[in-house]
Amino acid sequence: MAIVQSEENGYYGRIASSKEFAENERYYWGYQYLLARDVIVPELMQRGAFKAGDAVAEIGCGEAGVLDAFVERGAVHGLGTDIAPYRLSIARKVADTLGIDITVSEHDILFSEPLPEWRNRYQLAILRDVIEHLDDATLALKNIRNILAPGGWLYVTFPPYNSPYGGHQHLLHNSWGKIPYMHLLPEPLFKPMISTSTSAIDIEEVQRLRNIRLSASKFMQAARDAGYSIEHEEYYLFRPVFKLKFGLPTIRLTALKSLPLVKSVFSLEAAYLLRMT
Protein backbone atom coordinates (compact mmCIF):
# COMPACT_ATOMS: atom_id res chain seq x y z
CA MET A 1 0.00 0.00 0.00
CA ALA A 2 1.78 3.16 -1.25
CA ILE A 3 -0.50 5.83 0.27
CA VAL A 4 1.57 7.85 2.75
CA GLN A 5 0.04 11.36 2.80
CA SER A 6 -1.21 12.74 6.11
CA GLU A 7 -2.46 16.37 6.56
CA GLU A 8 -3.70 16.10 10.11
CA ASN A 9 -6.61 18.54 9.96
CA GLY A 10 -7.88 17.77 6.45
CA TYR A 11 -10.35 15.08 5.44
CA TYR A 12 -7.60 12.60 4.67
CA GLY A 13 -5.62 13.17 7.85
CA ARG A 14 -8.67 12.88 10.06
CA ILE A 15 -9.66 9.49 8.64
CA ALA A 16 -6.08 8.20 8.32
CA SER A 17 -5.46 8.88 12.01
CA SER A 18 -8.83 7.63 13.25
CA LYS A 19 -8.88 4.45 15.32
CA GLU A 20 -12.53 3.93 14.36
CA PHE A 21 -11.60 2.37 11.01
CA ALA A 22 -9.76 -0.82 10.09
CA GLU A 23 -6.60 -0.48 7.99
CA ASN A 24 -8.27 -1.73 4.80
CA GLU A 25 -11.18 0.68 5.32
CA ARG A 26 -8.80 3.65 5.64
CA TYR A 27 -6.88 2.43 2.60
CA TYR A 28 -9.83 2.09 0.22
CA TRP A 29 -11.45 5.36 1.29
CA GLY A 30 -8.07 7.07 1.26
CA TYR A 31 -7.02 6.32 -2.29
CA GLN A 32 -10.50 7.13 -3.58
CA TYR A 33 -10.40 10.49 -1.82
CA LEU A 34 -6.86 11.40 -2.87
CA LEU A 35 -7.49 10.37 -6.49
CA ALA A 36 -10.53 12.64 -6.64
CA ARG A 37 -8.94 15.51 -4.73
CA ASP A 38 -5.71 15.55 -6.74
CA VAL A 39 -6.88 14.36 -10.19
CA ILE A 40 -10.61 14.08 -10.87
CA VAL A 41 -11.93 17.26 -9.23
CA PRO A 42 -9.28 19.57 -10.77
CA GLU A 43 -9.75 17.91 -14.18
CA LEU A 44 -13.51 18.34 -14.19
CA MET A 45 -13.32 21.89 -12.87
CA GLN A 46 -10.88 22.80 -15.62
CA ARG A 47 -13.20 21.33 -18.24
CA GLY A 48 -16.26 23.16 -16.89
CA ALA A 49 -18.04 19.99 -15.79
CA PHE A 50 -18.00 20.82 -12.07
CA LYS A 51 -18.14 23.90 -9.87
CA ALA A 52 -18.99 24.63 -6.26
CA GLY A 53 -22.76 24.47 -5.76
CA ASP A 54 -23.29 21.61 -8.22
CA ALA A 55 -25.18 18.52 -7.06
CA VAL A 56 -22.99 15.43 -7.52
CA ALA A 57 -23.88 11.72 -7.57
CA GLU A 58 -21.49 8.77 -7.67
CA ILE A 59 -22.74 5.41 -8.91
CA GLY A 60 -20.81 2.50 -7.41
CA CYS A 61 -19.32 4.77 -4.75
CA GLY A 62 -17.84 2.10 -2.47
CA GLU A 63 -16.58 3.94 0.62
CA ALA A 64 -17.45 7.28 -1.08
CA GLY A 65 -13.97 8.76 -0.94
CA VAL A 66 -14.42 10.28 -4.41
CA LEU A 67 -17.75 11.83 -3.46
CA ASP A 68 -16.33 13.24 -0.22
CA ALA A 69 -13.60 15.05 -2.17
CA PHE A 70 -16.25 16.73 -4.32
CA VAL A 71 -18.20 17.76 -1.23
CA GLU A 72 -15.01 19.27 0.20
CA ARG A 73 -14.77 21.40 -2.95
CA GLY A 74 -18.34 22.65 -2.65
CA ALA A 75 -20.60 19.94 -4.12
CA VAL A 76 -24.11 19.85 -2.67
CA HIS A 77 -26.75 17.12 -2.30
CA GLY A 78 -24.01 14.48 -2.52
CA LEU A 79 -25.43 11.06 -3.40
CA GLY A 80 -23.50 7.78 -3.36
CA THR A 81 -25.06 4.50 -4.48
CA ASP A 82 -23.69 0.97 -4.43
CA ILE A 83 -24.87 -2.65 -4.22
CA ALA A 84 -22.46 -3.49 -1.36
CA PRO A 85 -24.07 -2.76 2.03
CA TYR A 86 -20.84 -3.10 4.01
CA ARG A 87 -19.00 -0.54 1.89
CA LEU A 88 -21.93 1.83 2.22
CA SER A 89 -21.79 1.44 5.99
CA ILE A 90 -18.17 2.62 5.90
CA ALA A 91 -19.19 5.57 3.71
CA ARG A 92 -21.81 6.58 6.29
CA LYS A 93 -19.33 6.21 9.13
CA VAL A 94 -16.75 8.37 7.33
CA ALA A 95 -19.36 11.05 6.62
CA ASP A 96 -20.37 11.08 10.28
CA THR A 97 -16.74 11.34 11.37
CA LEU A 98 -16.10 14.25 9.00
CA GLY A 99 -19.44 15.89 9.79
CA ILE A 100 -20.48 16.13 6.15
CA ASP A 101 -23.96 15.70 4.74
CA ILE A 102 -24.20 13.09 2.00
CA THR A 103 -26.80 10.46 1.16
CA VAL A 104 -25.64 6.89 0.62
CA SER A 105 -28.11 4.31 -0.64
CA GLU A 106 -28.11 0.67 -1.69
CA HIS A 107 -29.24 0.85 -5.30
CA ASP A 108 -28.68 -1.11 -8.54
CA ILE A 109 -28.40 1.24 -11.51
CA LEU A 110 -29.47 -1.52 -13.92
CA PHE A 111 -32.54 -2.88 -12.17
CA SER A 112 -33.76 -0.31 -9.62
CA GLU A 113 -35.80 2.82 -10.31
CA PRO A 114 -34.22 6.03 -8.98
CA LEU A 115 -36.00 7.60 -6.04
CA PRO A 116 -38.27 10.51 -6.98
CA GLU A 117 -36.02 13.03 -5.21
CA TRP A 118 -33.04 11.96 -7.32
CA ARG A 119 -34.66 12.57 -10.70
CA ASN A 120 -33.27 15.41 -12.84
CA ARG A 121 -31.31 16.74 -9.86
CA TYR A 122 -27.59 16.24 -10.47
CA GLN A 123 -25.31 18.42 -12.56
CA LEU A 124 -22.61 15.73 -12.45
CA ALA A 125 -22.61 11.95 -12.06
CA ILE A 126 -19.50 9.80 -11.68
CA LEU A 127 -19.08 6.17 -12.74
CA ARG A 128 -15.54 5.17 -11.83
CA ASP A 129 -14.47 1.60 -12.64
CA VAL A 130 -18.03 0.29 -12.59
CA ILE A 131 -19.35 0.21 -16.16
CA GLU A 132 -17.18 -2.77 -17.16
CA HIS A 133 -18.96 -4.90 -14.52
CA LEU A 134 -22.46 -4.16 -15.83
CA ASP A 135 -24.17 -6.56 -18.21
CA ASP A 136 -25.79 -3.79 -20.26
CA ALA A 137 -23.74 -0.60 -20.54
CA THR A 138 -26.30 1.17 -22.71
CA LEU A 139 -29.13 0.54 -20.24
CA ALA A 140 -26.99 1.71 -17.32
CA LEU A 141 -26.10 4.94 -19.14
CA LYS A 142 -29.75 5.53 -20.04
CA ASN A 143 -30.79 5.01 -16.42
CA ILE A 144 -28.21 7.53 -15.23
CA ARG A 145 -29.85 10.10 -17.49
CA ASN A 146 -32.87 9.91 -15.19
CA ILE A 147 -30.96 11.53 -12.32
CA LEU A 148 -29.06 14.12 -14.37
CA ALA A 149 -30.30 17.67 -14.67
CA PRO A 150 -30.73 19.02 -18.22
CA GLY A 151 -27.29 19.46 -19.76
CA GLY A 152 -25.75 17.33 -16.99
CA TRP A 153 -22.32 15.71 -17.19
CA LEU A 154 -21.26 12.11 -16.69
CA TYR A 155 -17.64 11.14 -15.98
CA VAL A 156 -16.76 7.48 -16.67
CA THR A 157 -13.54 5.52 -16.26
CA PHE A 158 -12.79 1.84 -16.80
CA PRO A 159 -10.03 -0.51 -18.01
CA PRO A 160 -10.85 -1.67 -21.56
CA TYR A 161 -11.24 -5.43 -21.66
CA ASN A 162 -8.43 -6.12 -24.14
CA SER A 163 -5.88 -4.16 -22.08
CA PRO A 164 -3.25 -6.02 -20.01
CA TYR A 165 -5.44 -6.44 -16.92
CA GLY A 166 -8.83 -5.61 -18.40
CA GLY A 167 -10.11 -9.02 -17.34
CA HIS A 168 -9.60 -8.15 -13.67
CA GLN A 169 -7.56 -11.32 -13.37
CA HIS A 170 -5.76 -9.76 -10.38
CA LEU A 171 -8.92 -10.56 -8.40
CA LEU A 172 -8.02 -14.24 -8.55
CA HIS A 173 -5.12 -13.93 -6.09
CA ASN A 174 -3.20 -16.72 -7.79
CA SER A 175 -0.02 -16.72 -9.85
CA TRP A 176 -1.94 -16.77 -13.14
CA GLY A 177 -3.71 -13.52 -12.25
CA LYS A 178 -0.41 -11.64 -12.39
CA ILE A 179 0.06 -12.39 -16.09
CA PRO A 180 -1.00 -9.57 -18.44
CA TYR A 181 -3.46 -10.52 -21.17
CA MET A 182 -4.09 -13.99 -19.71
CA HIS A 183 -7.83 -13.27 -19.93
CA LEU A 184 -7.52 -13.25 -23.74
CA LEU A 185 -6.32 -16.84 -23.92
CA PRO A 186 -8.58 -19.49 -25.50
CA GLU A 187 -11.19 -20.99 -23.20
CA PRO A 188 -9.43 -24.38 -22.79
CA LEU A 189 -6.45 -22.53 -21.29
CA PHE A 190 -8.34 -19.75 -19.53
CA LYS A 191 -10.73 -21.88 -17.49
CA PRO A 192 -8.13 -24.10 -15.80
CA MET A 193 -6.07 -21.01 -14.95
CA ILE A 194 -8.90 -19.18 -13.18
CA SER A 195 -10.13 -22.35 -11.47
CA THR A 196 -7.05 -22.40 -9.21
CA SER A 197 -8.32 -19.33 -7.35
CA THR A 198 -9.59 -19.99 -3.83
CA SER A 199 -12.54 -17.60 -4.25
CA ALA A 200 -15.56 -18.83 -6.19
CA ILE A 201 -16.97 -15.29 -6.22
CA ASP A 202 -13.86 -13.89 -7.88
CA ILE A 203 -13.81 -16.71 -10.45
CA GLU A 204 -17.42 -15.93 -11.32
CA GLU A 205 -16.69 -12.20 -11.69
CA VAL A 206 -13.67 -12.77 -13.95
CA GLN A 207 -15.81 -15.05 -16.10
CA ARG A 208 -18.59 -12.43 -16.22
CA LEU A 209 -16.16 -9.80 -17.44
CA ARG A 210 -14.99 -12.19 -20.15
CA ASN A 211 -18.59 -12.46 -21.31
CA ILE A 212 -19.16 -8.67 -21.21
CA ARG A 213 -15.84 -7.69 -22.86
CA LEU A 214 -16.35 -3.93 -22.69
CA SER A 215 -13.93 -2.21 -25.06
CA ALA A 216 -13.40 1.49 -25.68
CA SER A 217 -15.28 1.30 -28.99
CA LYS A 218 -18.19 -0.59 -27.41
CA PHE A 219 -18.44 1.97 -24.65
CA MET A 220 -18.43 4.94 -27.02
CA GLN A 221 -21.19 3.37 -29.08
CA ALA A 222 -23.21 2.68 -25.91
CA ALA A 223 -22.77 6.32 -24.84
CA ARG A 224 -24.08 7.59 -28.17
CA ASP A 225 -26.97 5.11 -28.13
CA ALA A 226 -27.89 6.30 -24.65
CA GLY A 227 -28.12 9.91 -25.79
CA TYR A 228 -24.79 11.44 -24.76
CA SER A 229 -22.19 13.40 -26.62
CA ILE A 230 -18.56 12.50 -25.93
CA GLU A 231 -17.00 15.81 -24.91
CA HIS A 232 -13.55 14.53 -23.99
CA GLU A 233 -11.62 11.26 -23.83
CA GLU A 234 -8.33 10.26 -22.21
CA TYR A 235 -6.27 7.06 -22.36
CA TYR A 236 -3.55 5.99 -19.96
CA LEU A 237 -0.72 3.48 -20.01
CA PHE A 238 -0.19 4.06 -16.27
CA ARG A 239 -3.43 5.08 -14.58
CA PRO A 240 -3.51 8.10 -12.22
CA VAL A 241 -4.43 5.80 -9.33
CA PHE A 242 -1.15 3.90 -9.83
CA LYS A 243 0.71 6.84 -8.27
CA LEU A 244 -1.27 6.33 -5.05
CA LYS A 245 -1.21 2.54 -5.05
CA PHE A 246 2.27 1.82 -6.40
CA GLY A 247 4.15 5.13 -6.56
CA LEU A 248 4.23 5.05 -10.38
CA PRO A 249 4.00 8.16 -12.59
CA THR A 250 0.91 8.77 -14.68
CA ILE A 251 1.53 8.14 -18.39
CA ARG A 252 -1.07 9.28 -20.91
CA LEU A 253 -1.57 7.74 -24.33
CA THR A 254 -4.25 10.16 -25.53
CA ALA A 255 -1.97 11.82 -28.09
CA LEU A 256 -1.53 8.40 -29.72
CA LYS A 257 -5.19 7.36 -29.63
CA SER A 258 -5.53 7.33 -33.41
CA LEU A 259 -2.87 4.65 -33.74
CA PRO A 260 -4.06 1.05 -34.06
CA LEU A 261 -4.47 -0.85 -30.77
CA VAL A 262 -3.60 2.09 -28.48
CA LYS A 263 -7.13 2.45 -27.09
CA SER A 264 -8.03 -1.21 -27.18
CA VAL A 265 -4.87 -3.09 -26.19
CA PHE A 266 -2.35 -0.79 -24.47
CA SER A 267 -4.54 1.61 -22.45
CA LEU A 268 -4.98 0.46 -18.86
CA GLU A 269 -7.61 3.18 -18.36
CA ALA A 270 -10.09 4.88 -20.64
CA ALA A 271 -11.74 8.03 -19.24
CA TYR A 272 -14.68 9.84 -20.82
CA LEU A 273 -16.53 13.04 -20.12
CA LEU A 274 -20.06 12.77 -21.49
CA ARG A 275 -22.90 15.28 -21.67
CA MET A 276 -26.62 14.81 -22.15
CA THR A 277 -27.80 15.76 -25.61
pLDDT digits (tens, 9 = 90+) for 58-75: 999 999 999 999 999 999
Buried (b) or exposed (e) across 218-256, using 16+ Cβ within 10 A?
bbbebbeebebeeeebbbbbbbbbbbbeeeeeeebbbee
**pLDDT score for 8:** 61
Question: Domains plus CATH for the chain?
Answer: 11-160+213-276 (3.40.50.150), 163-212 (no CATH)
| pLDDT-based confidence at residue 9 (cuts at 50, 70, 90) | low
Confidence of residue 2 (pLDDT cuts 50, 70, 90): very low
Name the residue type at position 258.
Answer: S
- What pLDDT is attached to residue 4? 44
Average pLDDT over residues 246-261: 96
As a residue count, the chain comes to: 277
Asked whether residue 24 carries a pLDDT value surpassing 80, the answer given is: yes
CA 140/CA 152 separation, integer angstroms: 16
Strands 228-238 and 102-106, bridge-based pairing: unpaired
pLDDT at 37: 98
Residue-wise pLDDT for 91-122, tens only, equals: 999 999 999 999 999 999 999 999 999 999 99
Q: What burial class does residue 100 get, using C-beta atoms within 10 Å of its C-beta: 0-12 exposed, 13-18 middle, 19+ buried? A: middle
Q: For residue 168, what are the contacts with CB-CB under 8 A and spacing of at least 6?
A: 132, 159, 183, 205, 206, 209
Question: Is 0.85 surpassed by the pTM of this model?
Answer: yes
